[in-house]
Structure 1
Amino acid sequence: MSAWLPAAPCTPGQCVERSRAAAAVPLAVLRLIAVALLLLAGVAVVLTPLGRGRPRRWGTVPAAVVRCWCRWIVRAVGVRVRVTGAAPPGGGLLLVANHVSWLDVPLLAAVRPARMLAKSDIRRWPVAGPVAARGGVLFIERDRLRALPDTVATIADTLREGAAVAVFPEGSTWCGRAQGRFRRAVFQAALDAGVPVQPVRIRYRSRERAVSTVPAFVGEDTLLASLWRVASARGLTAEVEVRPVIAPDRHSDRRTLAHAAQGRAPSKSMCAL
């Protein structure tokens, strides 16, 4: 565990429930095929010359198109999307959200397309690395404490340029019934750049409206196992609550800003099924 990338106590065995209503195997397979096709379409937009005779970045694609594409990704895997709250403002903005699942990334982009943070190792991954780079991902060395000031400076510079940056300040995924503490470092970038912070709360609910841990991607869980668990579930809904913007002059230090963005005292206990 590092200061920049803490670990949550949640594990698949203790925290992730089995879906009470499972979809038939053919439907789950069709859902995964639909997701794959949408991802390939996104890769084609980013990596192939379309219209301008050169590879495009997500920043050159209309925001409405990106938002719709991200919603389709989540809907294709069988999860309904419900977004409430005010639309985020334009210009430099720090989007912060709790972190439960890989689904959180397209859900945040459906609120407002933003540059995401990712560990530097991803840059060297086949296919995913070039796509992430074209998509405007900010690569950071999250395991090195000495790199933290440079990371904060990079985020601040991006915010000053008028871009939105999306961050999961808990530093790790939690199951959804338990929650981590928002780490303060990233909020310093918003203070340095003088931009507002937009908190977003993500919840996953079952058909019975109870909080569901089925979409959680925690501990030693594999992406393949998580994908299948979500695709084979029925009645999942992703609730995205866009909370009021916190103006840059409301808080003078990152500690109080992080606490205000989280909105409540964090839970440090593990969930119990």
Structure 2
Amino acid sequence: MSAWLPVAPCTPRDCAHHEGARRPTPHAVALLVAGCSLTLLGVLSVPAVLLLGPAWRDLLVRRWARAVVRAFGVRVRVTGLPVGRGRPPAGELVVANHVSWLDIPLVAGVFPARMVAKSEIRTWPLLGPLAALGGTLFIERDRLRALPDAVRALAGALASGSRVAVFPQGSTWCGRSGGGRFRAAAFQAAIDAGSAVRPVRIRYRTATANAAGAAAFVGDDPLAASLWRVVTAAGLTAEIHVLPQLPAVPAVPAVRGGGGTGRRGLARAAQSAVASDSANLPASSVHH
């Protein structure tokens, strides 16, 4: 099996459902239309946004990404360390656990970055060319021989000063357990480029319980079904925990069971930080 193509045990039947309060159907339909419309508007605006300078482009991406999440009826709560508005001088690798398609705009709303995507997306009508224009790094996940080239591409982007966001679990997990382990390849790119690693924890909750099942997009779950679960789940909140940077050096100190040497040690340290409940930091903001 390719290092870029792990398989999660989560299935729509077992993991993707919501048992809490639900919105009335008319309200849910209105949110679905609003969210899809705002998403399409952003996609169509990519060529124009690329003409702007980096600071304005990052500002617009952050605001659009957060607006998309809110349009689908999801509140966003950002906690943890203050987030700098400028671009990192030597690049930064943002790594997060992966639960849902919502993770992508959530991360972009805090850290505008070049995303990593499977190579098949490049051939999709409309979305493929626009993703390429937006600087997406396409990875051939099902070819192990392509892995060294992928690492070099990631390292090159980081070395040029770009922020790159990746979900190193390689697949979505429902979030009810620890999820998949962080694959080490992306961390080798950070070491090669001398770029720091920024762990980010993503969780979905309602007022009374863990709501990972409502947000989960796993297995062969149809996107339409996932969208409907999200807009019908009343009180759904996405929590983004920004954790301290980890230095991308060949030797990484142990972090609550993680750590070790090289890319595997760095991957374990990042995974341990993301998974640790004790890594929660005081809330800095809540966005409605």
Question: TM-score with structure 2 length normalisation?
Answer: 0.85
Contact 1:23 1:233 in 2 (8 A): yes
Partner residue, 2:105? 106
What SS does structure 1 have at the residue aligned with 2:117? strand
CA distance 1:212–1:43, change in 2 (3 Å): closer
Do the aligned residues in 1 keep the contact of 2:248 with 2:266 (CA within 8 Å)? no
1:85 & 1:107 partners in 2: Cα distance?
15
- Inter-partner Cα distance in structure 1 for 2:120 and 2:184: 24
- Change in Cα spacing, 1:265 to 1:121, as seen in structure 2 (3 Å) is closer
| Alpha carbons 2:187, 2:248 under 8 Å: kept | no
Rounded Cα–Cα distance in structure 2 between residues aligned with 1:154 and 1:174: 26
RMSD value, Cα? 2.1
Query: For residue 151 of structure 2, what is the aligned residue in structure 1?
Result: 152
**What residue in structure 1 maps to residue 262 of structure 2?**
253
Aligned residues: 262
Report the alpha carbon displacement of residue 209 of structure 1 after superposing the two structures with TM. Answer: 3.6
Structure 2 match to 1:192: 192
Q: Among 248, 271, 277, which residue is 1:262 paired with?
A: 271
Q: Distance in 1 between matches of 2:153 and 2:94?
A: 15
Distance 1:142 1:180 in 2: 16
226 and 4 in structure 1: CA distance in 2 versus 1, 3 angstrom threshold: same
Q: Map 1:1-273; keep pairs closer than 5 Å.
A: 1-47=1-47, 49=48, 56=51, 61-88=56-83, 90-91=87-88, 92-178=91-177, 179-249=179-249, 251=252, 252-263=261-272
SS in 1 for 2:214: coil
Alpha-carbon distance in structure 1 between the residues aligned to 2:17 and 2:33:
24
TM-score normalised by length of structure 1: 0.90
Change (3 A) 1:61 1:177: same
**Aligned partners of 1:59 and 1:136 also within 8 Å:** no
Give ranges in structure 2 of 5+ residues lacking alignment: 253-260, 277-288
**Percent sequence identity over aligned pairs:** 56
Looking at structure 2, the residues matched to 197 and 135 of structure 1 have their Cα atoms a distance apart, in angstroms, of 22
Structure 1 gaps of 5+ residues are 268-273
Distance, in Å, in 1 between the alignment partners of 2:52 and 2:264 is: 34
The answer (yes or no) to whether the contact 2:96–2:274 under 8 Å persists in 1 is: no
